[in-house]
Structure 1
Amino acid sequence: MNKRLKFSLILLAALGSFTSPLIARANFEGNLNVEIDGLKNTQGQVCASIFASSQGFPADRDRVLQRQCTKITDTSVKLTFKNLKAGNYAVAVMHDENDDFMVNRSDLGFPLEGFGFSQNPEIIDRAPKFEEAAVLVAGANTDIKIQLKYL
């Protein structure tokens, strides 16, 4: 066997050992564990919605991949989104103090209940874009914390 062919075979074998774990990871399903902090009280429930793309983020209920609501028993709440394929996701959270499954707003459109997003982006005059809140899920468990904000 000539040197060039031998080198090519060795190179292909080496590349194959690097790419097979990447292929295996692309087909896995992992969990996104979300800890929600900063609740101002224990009234009502916390609802979290996870989005797999920018379409509909953060408020279009028809575009939500998974949604969870849980009664509040402490000033910190933990939720887990299960069986997510590897990729980027963004989470929107609200403190639904009156259990109506909506973010209640003032006459000027400002949220009257607590809210937050993955990556805790700074909120000044608009909701964050998907890219500003996106979290990469690429392992068996990905842990994030979301700090609620109240206006």
Structure 2
Amino acid sequence: MNLLALYACCFLFAGTNEPTATLQVQITNVKNGNGKIWIALFRPDEKFGTNKPGIAKIISVTSADDQTATFELAPGRYALAMYHDLNGNDLMDRNFVGIPKEPYGFSKNFRPRFSAPSFEDCAFELLPGGKTISVKLTN
């Protein structure tokens, strides 16, 4: 019976090792040494810019130096959005028109003019060998 259980375990866990690639995100133009940086990664089939990203990470900021975040992901297309929550209220503060009052950034350093960016505006390819991207926060 133990041999049967061993075979069953091997069968169940065989093939579950999805290949991963390392995405390193360098965050520049950090002006304030407190708060948190919220990072959201979206896949093409997810609604970019929603409050429910497929992959998210929060970094505590303790200095006004550049920050780094590392993700282990399946190779593929992604788009990244982030903001620096300066006051720690877990929200991106906006003015009465809806324009962000806290620093934010997107992959490919896309800077929106009159509306929020689309997935395609910020999309990048993560290859099996990994990738490093740099995102500059707004002032």
Equivalent residue number for residue 146 of structure 1: 135
Q: Which has the higher helix share?
A: 1
Q: TM-score, normalised by structure 2?
A: 0.80
Q: TM-score, normalised by structure 1?
A: 0.74
Q: Is the 8 A contact 1:53 1:89 kept in 2?
A: yes
Alpha-carbon distance between aligned partners in 1 of 2:99 and 2:79, rounded to the nearest angstrom: 21
Aligned pair partner of 2:37 in 41, 46, 51: 46
Which stretch of structure 1 is more off in the superposition, 134-143 or 111-120?
134-143
Q: Is the 8 A contact 2:46 2:54 kept in 1?
A: no
SS at match of 1:132: helix
Instruction: Give CA-to-partner distance per residue, 1:78-112, whole Å, 9 cap, x none.
Output: 00111x12210011010000112211101111101
Unaligned runs of 5+ in 1: 1-26
1:37 aligns to 2:34 (yes or no): no
Higher radius of gyration, 1 or 2? 1
Alpha-carbon distance between aligned partners in 2 of 1:132 and 1:54, rounded to the nearest angstrom: 15
Q: Matched residues, percent identical? A: 28
SS at match of 1:119: helix
Aligned pair partner of 2:66 in 54, 72, 76: 76
Unaligned runs of 5+ in 2: 1-17
Equivalent residue number for residue 61 of structure 1: 51
The aligned amino acid for 2:29 is: G
1:113 aligns to 2:106 (yes or no): no
Equivalent residue number for residue 112 of structure 2: 123
Alpha-carbon distance between aligned partners in 1 of 2:19 and 2:134, rounded to the nearest angstrom: 23
